[in-house]
């Protein structure tokens, strides 16, 4: 069974980080899993974790008054689910629900914030990666909004 550091190194979000950087992340990380159809978070709740998906799929949803929930986009293996770790506390903007058994690496937001403060160069590298992941989600959201408001 691979160590947590090896598991971190295998995730696309962290690919290419050196061993020293990964060792700094180990205290912030834990392995988590959920069954299918599990609510992970609800809009308005505190977002204390950032999830790096290892397998499974998570539906990111928005609740529409009088019409119920609607999936905005679906994330899967290799994707990042969560808010940033700057300006804590953060709140979830959407609801998240597993569509199948899902495994992830949970990164504690407060721990990432402390790491970023004590190692600004490492924090900057993580922030750059997070922004790239966030831009990808914004592109997905743009495509889905056409469908969302059209139906």
Could you report the per-residue pLDDT of 88-104, keeping only the tens digit for each?
578 888 899 999 999 99
SS3 string, the chain, reads CCCHHHHHHHCHHHCCCCHHHHHHHHHHEEEEEECCCCEEECCCCECCEEEEEEECEEEEEEEECCCEEEEEEEEECCCEEECCCCCCCCECCCEEEECCCEEEEEEEHHHHHHHHHHCHHHHHHHHHHHHHHHHHHHHHHHHHHHHHHHC
Q: What is the maximum alpha-carbon separation in the chain?
A: 51
Q: What confidence tens digit (pLDDT) does each residue in 44-65 have?
A: 898 889 999 999 999 999 887 8
- Across the chain, what does the average pLDDT equal? 87
Could you tell me the domains of the chain? Answer: 4-150 (2.60.120.10)
CA angle, 58 as apex, 56 and 61 as ends, to 5°? 165
The verdict on pTM exceeding 0.75 is yes
Q: What confidence tens digit (pLDDT) does each residue in 108-131 have?
A: 988 998 988 899 888 888 888 888
CA–centroid distance for 53 within its chain: 7
Q: What does the block give as tokens for 12?
A: 């696309």
Give 2's contacts (C-beta < 8 A, 6+ positions apart): 10
């Amino acid at each position: 069974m691979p160590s947590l550091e090896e598991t971190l190194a295998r995730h696309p979000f962290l690919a290419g980080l050196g061993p020293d950087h990964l060792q700094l992340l180990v205290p912030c990380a834990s392995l988590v899993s959920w069954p299918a159809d599990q609510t992970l978070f609800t809009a308005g709740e505190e977002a204390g974790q950032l999830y790096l998906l290892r397998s499974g799929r998570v539906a990111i949803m928005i609740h529409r008054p009088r019409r119920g929930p609607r999936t905005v986009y679906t994330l899967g293996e290799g994707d990042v689910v969560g808010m940033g770790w700057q300006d804590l506390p953060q709140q979830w903007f959407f609801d998240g629900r597993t569509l199948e058994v899902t495994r992830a690496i949970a990164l504690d937001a407060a721990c990432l914030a402390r790491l970023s403060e004590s190692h600004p160069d490492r924090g900057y590298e993580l922030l750059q990666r997070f922004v790239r992941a966030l831009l990808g989600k914004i592109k997905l959201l743009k495509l889905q909004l056409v469908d969302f408001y059209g139906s």
